[in-house]
Amino acid sequence: MQKEWIMSARKSYVGVVAVVAAIGCMFTGSVGAHTLIYPLSVTLTGFSPTHGNAGDPVTINGTHLESTKSVEFGTVSVDNFTVDPGGTWVKTVIPAGLPNGPLQITLSVLGINQSIGPFYIGAAGPEPGGKANPTPSPSAGAHAAVAPRITTFSPTAGKAGTKVVISGANFTKASWLKFGGVKARFTVSSANGIVAYVPKHAHSGKISVHTPAGTAVSSKPFKA
């Protein structure tokens, strides 16, 4: 009786060892076939520049960012972004519709949201005393400045050097104009019109115009 019990115990032990070995082989084969990245290895280390306006390019740095699925500035998602295949950076453009002040940049990577900040819209960030740069208020009796607005532009596509006529409103004090985040040469022909030239190295993207009162971004992209 004791001999039969020992034989049964040995068979059970051998069976358990076989199952464990089979599971180990399956796991090894799976790991060998796919490179797995544990979500906690994803990190955000910084961004450049530290402030800007709608249409300005921003680079977010970190590790294991190649699986980035979305990018948000505050609560506003960006339409387009480029991811480094090596996972060390994500490049994008600040979206329109953000209020001046600090916010967090959030990346969704491997199903987990990773945030970094503060990034400043408009102002250059806190002054040495710790207070955010104030927004200048109009002098007594003066009219408040009105933000610019882009309504149309023509043509809608072109290579470097192409002349583009932009129509809208409140362009008088425009300080810069960009095609997809790349600064371009331009002339303000009137409060409602600008003549710009597609810059070298421009890529497809929305046209943005900046004045002291704010930044206007076209509703549709220009195809470079």
Q: Determine whether domain 149-222 maps to CATH 3.30.70.20.
A: no
Residue 93 has pLDDT above 70, yes or no: yes
The reported pLDDT for the residue numbered 4 is 55
Residue 101 has pLDDT above 80, yes or no: yes
Degrees (nearest 5) of the Cα angle 173, 179, 185?
Answer: 55
The reported pLDDT for the residue numbered 162 is 96
The reported pLDDT for the residue numbered 29 is 41
Cα separation, 134 vs 175, in Å, equals: 20
- Average pLDDT of span 64-89: 90
Domain ranges of the chain: 39-121, 149-222
Which pLDDT tens digit goes with each residue over 4-35?
Answer: 544 554 554 444 444 444 444 444 444 444 44
Residue 47 has pLDDT above 90, yes or no: yes
Q: Indicate the pLDDT class of residue 133, thresholds 50, 70 and 90.
A: very low
| Identical fold between 39-121 and 149-222 | yes
Cα separation, 154 vs 223, in Å, equals: 11
The reported pLDDT for the residue numbered 97 is 83
Cα separation, 52 vs 100, in Å, equals: 10
Residue 118 has pLDDT above 80, yes or no: yes
Percent of the chain with pLDDT over 70: 72
Q: Determine contact, residues 76/119, Cβ cutoff 8 Å.
A: no
Give me the residue label for tokens 């149309």.
152
The reported pLDDT for the residue numbered 123 is 65
DSSP 8-state class, residue 146? -
Q: Indicate the pLDDT class of residue 55, thresholds 50, 70 and 90.
A: confident
The reported pLDDT for the residue numbered 116 is 93
Which pLDDT tens digit goes with each residue over 155-178?
Answer: 999 999 999 999 999 999 999 999
- Average pLDDT of span 121-142: 49
Q: What is the CATH number of domain 39-121?
A: 2.60.40.10
Residue 224 has pLDDT above 60, yes or no: yes
Q: pTM for this one?
A: 0.44
Q: What order of strands is seen across the sheet that includes strand 214-222? A: 182-183, 176-179, 205-211, 214-222
- Average pLDDT of span 177-202: 94
